[in-house]
Amino acid sequence: MPRPHSKNAVGFVCVLLVLSGCGYRLGGAGLSAGEGRTLAVPVFRNETAEFRVEQRLTEAVRRELIRQTRYRVVPDPAGDVVLAGSVLQITTAPTIFTPDGRAIVYSVAVVLTVRLTDSADGAVLLDDRLTFRENFEVSNDSAGFVPEDAAAIERLARRFASSLAISMARVTS
The pLDDT value given to residue 25: 35
Residue 6 lies in a domain: no
d(CA 51, CA 88): 13
Mean pLDDT of the chain: 82
Residue 19 lies in a domain: no
Tens of pLDDT, residue by residue over 107-148, are 999 999 999 999 999 999 999 999 999 999 887 665 555 567
Q: Are 53 and 46 spatial neighbours (Cβ–Cβ below 8 Å)?
A: yes
Residue 23 lies in a domain: no
Residue 1 lies in a domain: no
Confidence of residue 100 (pLDDT cuts 50, 70, 90): very high
How much is the pTM?
A: 0.75
Q: For residue 57, count other CB atoms closer than 10 A to its CB.
A: 28
Residue 67 lies in a domain: yes
Residue 50 lies in a domain: yes
Give the residue numbers spanning the domain of 55: 32-172
Average pLDDT over residues 69-95: 94
Residue 8 lies in a domain: no
Q: Are 152 and 132 spatial neighbours (Cβ–Cβ below 8 Å)?
A: no
Residue 43 lies in a domain: yes
**Residue partners of 72: CB distance under 8 A and separation at least 6:** 37, 38, 39
d(CA 75, CA 94): 36
Confidence of residue 5 (pLDDT cuts 50, 70, 90): low
The pLDDT value given to residue 27: 38
Find the CATH number of the domain harbouring 69: 3.30.160.150
The total number of structural domains in the chain stands at: 1
Confidence of residue 169 (pLDDT cuts 50, 70, 90): confident
Q: Tell me, letter by letter, the H, E, C secondary structure of the chain.
A: CCCHHHHHHHHHHHHHHHHHCCCCCCCCHHHHCCCCCEEECCCCEECCCCCCHHHHHHHHHHHHHHHHCCCEEECCCCCCEEEEEEEEEEEEEEEEECCCCCEEEEEEEEEEEEEEEECCCCCEEEEEEEEEEEEEECCCCHHHCCCCHHHHHHHHHHHHHHHHHHHHHHHHC
d(CA 121, CA 124): 9
d(CA 1, CA 18): 27
